[in-house]
Structure 1
Amino acid sequence: MTAFATSADGTRIAFDRVGSGPPVILVGGAMQFRGFDPATVELANALAEHGFDVVHYDRRGRGESPADQPITLAQTIADLRALTDLLTEGADDAVALFGNSSGGAIALAAADAGLPVSALVLFEVPLDEERGAGGAEFLAGLRERIRDADGDATVEYFMKDMPPEWLAGARASGGWPIMTAMAPSLEPDAEALAWTQSAPRAELWADIDARTLVLVGSQTQDVMEVAARSLVDTLPHAERRELEASDHQWEPKRLALVITEFLVD
């Protein structure tokens, strides 16, 4: 049953909560929300079976969390803070964050912003080169298309550096209208990725004390391997692990086992 947390600006953030135990919040990447992402629903249920209190939520501007534009990274972090406060009930407890793809960059930004994060699990965060300008340029281009209210152009632009067959498959699918409707909510993804290039990474997240597991698929793009190495080299407490996965996708029960092993270690 859907529940709601109220963010700092009054926006209601819809979520499902399953299980009991140490709290875990699942931070979706581009195009993900509960009604459009059955794999993460299954992941939440599998983690609950392993003894966790799991929140799977619709990010601002998606699903049952409608919001006015512009949708920013700061607002997205405030939404996570509201969910964290709900899970910890104002106590000194901390939460673990699982960030998928660009959701991993959002999770990093949330931890850097001071949210009480005990652990991070990051799957294939698509980082560009350290201190590069590509992220800022990409963000500017995305914002231009969002301002033009062109959902098709926005999603096409967001996917322009992905394998061409991914975009072709998305356009041919019945989910394309859903993807284009949520296009404005892609801005925090691009903003978080640009933030990872805004300073030397060892300095940028020097205050992130959370233990971090950096996951890459056994069959992945070279850019994901390079990004994983950058994360492990620059985060204070990070380790890399390969997960049996391909094409930037994972199997929920297998991933739940890997996350569980890391969090209970």
Structure 2
Amino acid sequence: MERNLSFNLHVLTARLDRAADRTLQAEHNVSYSRFLALTLVRELGTPTQRALADCLGVTEPSVSRMTAALAAEGLLDAQPDPAGGRRTALPADGTPISYRTMGDGPHLILLGGALRTSDDYLPLASVLATSFRVHLVERRGRGASGPQGPHYTLRKEVEDLLAVQSETGARLAFGHSYGGLVILETARSYPVFDRTAVYEPGVPAAPVPTGWMGPYRERLTAGDSYGAFVHFIRGAGGAPPILAKLPYWYLRYALRIGFRGPSWQRMRPLLAANLAEHEQVAAQQGKLAGFGAVTASVLLLCGSRSQLASKTQFGALREILPTAVQETLNGLNHFGPEGKTAAVVAERARAFLL
């Protein structure tokens, strides 16, 4: 019955789309796909082609052709962004921190997690940009931002966030995983935010596994990226139990065969940064009580499919934060703010932050 309902909804949606297309073609000489693109441009403000492509669920070249045609017909004013869609903030140590801005409304900073770049959060940013002026940060060690540097600490990330906040004047923030830790650590010492939403922030309320870090570092030094990653997923505590029980050699072989696509290509250059960031998470152990100094209102989100131990830690954090609300989003795991489920997280965050 559930399958039939899903199929019927799909058929109904397709028929509605075709009916809308016929009406728009007859009355306004514009296709439904182009009408949808124009509507999104109006809602997002001045989006980049990449942001528009993510919202439409099509490729960037496809959006490029569409916007060119709309501009030729006088329906769209397409201009090159002199900053390439990106801006730069300079923290105390002078490391350039790149961020891209989209949408219109209250200013909101979006900060991602370990082994992720800002590109991984474009679907989330695009939905939020319908209600906010979103500043999507490329944390240090990634993309157009500068390197982590030899003296990297969590304090550097706090300084980076403060620099972006100073440039934008944002009083709202959203953070995922390690990005959530950075936001809460910043809010603990600096009252620059009024409201923050964090999804499964990397704040340790229990002992942090560190035994994997030595072998991970050795494999990285040897140039064995897959070997290092296996030590991480088996030892860091976030992987499903079945993976932790599989032999090292088997997992390494399986990853080399099956994990070679765009996700791995984005992740691979971040493996060294991943170690440095998890070392900082471990360094926060025993400091949970300090988050009682956070004055901002906090929405603490987690996924129902995340590990029970993790959800217990989030509950402990909620008890420490003075003005926090904790909610569990059904069917989501630790990576809820990414990909197809990003819209679910965005809608809940929007309701709290507005």
Q: TM-score range by the shorter chain?
A: 0.7 to 0.9
Q: How far 1:261 moved relative to its partner?
A: 0.8
Return closer, same or farther for 1:100/1:68 CA change in 2, 3 Å cut-off.
closer
The alpha-carbon distance between structure 1 residues 142 and 62, as it changes in their structure 2 partners (threshold 3 A), is farther
Q: How much identity, in percent, do the aligned residues show?
A: 28
2:67 is matched with which residue?
Answer: none
Equivalent runs, 1:242-261 vs 2, <5 Å:
242-250=328-336, 251-261=341-351
TM-superposed CA distance for 1:246, in Å, is 2.5
Offset of 1:144 from its aligned partner?
4.5
Matched, 1:67 2:67: no
Determine which of 204, 227, 233 is the counterpart of 1:159: 233
Deviation at residue 115 of structure 1 after TM alignment: 5.4
User: How many residues were matched structurally?
Assistant: 250
TM-score, length-scaled by structure 2? 0.63
Assess if the C-alpha contact under 8 Å between 1:26 and 1:55 holds in 2.
yes
Moved more, 54-63 or 181-190: 181-190
Q: Which residue of 1 aligns with 2:352?
A: 262
Distance 2:224 2:298 in 1: 34
Superimposed CA distance per residue, residues 12-35 of structure 1 (whole angstroms, 9 cap, x where no aligned partner): 111111122222111111111123
Identify which of 209, 218, 225 aligns with 2:295.
209
Separation of aligned partners in 1, 2:198 and 2:159: 20
Amino acid at match of 1:185: A
1:220 aligns with 2:306: yes
Shift of 1:262: 0.7
For 1:82 and 1:149, the matched residues in 2 are separated by 36
Give the aligned residue type for 1:53.
R
The structural deviation recorded for 1:60 is 0.5
Letter in 1 for 2:333: D
**Secondary structure in structure 2 of the residue aligned to 1:182:** helix
**Please, which of 323, 327, 337 is the counterpart of residue 237 of structure 1?**
323
- SS across alignment from 1:246: coil
Give the secondary structure class of the aligned counterpart of 1:25.
strand
Cα offset, 1:129, TM superposition? 4.0
Instruction: Using the TM superposition, give the Cα deviation of residue 66 of structure 1 relative to its aligned residue in structure 2, in angstroms.
Output: 3.4
Tell me which structure has the larger Cα radius of gyration: 2
Higher RCO (C-alpha under 8 Å, 6+ residues apart):
1
TM-score (ref. length: structure 1): 0.81
Give the Cα separation in 2 of the matches to 1:253 and 1:103: 18
Q: Aligned partners of 1:147 and 1:173: how far apart in 2?
A: 17
SS of the equivalent of 2:295 reads coil
- Measure the CA separation in 2 of the matches of 1:140 and 1:225: 24
> Which deviates more, 139-148 or 60-69?
139-148
Q: For residues 13 and 61 of structure 1, what CA distance do their matches in structure 2 show?
A: 9
Q: Distance in 1 between matches of 2:195 and 2:87?
A: 24
Give, in whole Å, the separation in 2 of the partners of 1:126 and 1:209: 19
Secondary structure at the counterpart of residue 9 of structure 1: coil
AA aligned to 2:99 is F
Partner Cα distance (1:121, 1:142) in 2: 35
Q: Distance in 2 between matches of 1:138 and 1:20?
A: 45
Structure 1: any 5+ residue segments left out of the alignment? 89-93
Q: CA deviation at 1:184?
A: 2.5
What value does the CA root-mean-square deviation take over the aligned residues? 2.9
For 2:272 and 2:284, the matched residues in 1 are separated by 21
Distance 1:246 1:254, change over 3 A: closer
| 1:80-95 correspondence runs (5 A) | 80-88=161-169, 95=171
Higher strand fraction: Structure 1 or Structure 2?
A: 1
Q: What runs of 5+ residues in structure 2 fail to find an aligned partner? A: 1-84, 245-250
